[in-house]
Amino acid sequence: SDIVYEWILRSPPAGGSLRMTIIVSRRVNSYDEEYLQFINIRAVKEVLSYIRIKYLTILLIVHFTTEDW
C-alpha cells in the first residue's frame, strides 16, 4: 500500500488555506489523470512534481485553495 503524508496549514500569508499531500508509491501509474482531476476540483492552483528514488515514485501535490477543506 502507498504511504501518504499530509499537512494542512490554515491561513497562509496569501489567504485561504494550503494543503500539501506527499504520496510515496511503488507504482509509477498509481495515480492517473482521473485521480488528479478529482483533486483539481478543489484546487485553484496545483503544483505537481515527481521525484523518483530507485523504485519509489514520490508524488508531491501542493494545493492552494480559497475555501476550507
Q: How many domains does the chain have?
A: 1
Scan for cell 496549514, then name that residue: 9
> DSSP letter at 12?
-
Q: Which amino acid is at 2?
A: D
Between CA 19 and CA 43 the distance in angstroms is: 9
Domain that holds residue 51: 3-65
The cell for 68 is 476550507
CB 59 within 8 A of CB 50: yes
Three-state secondary structure call for residue 26:
coil
| pTM score of the predicted model | 0.23
pLDDT digits (tens, 9 = 90+) for 18-62: 555 555 444 444 455 555 544 444 443 344 444 444 444 444 555
- pLDDT of 53: 47
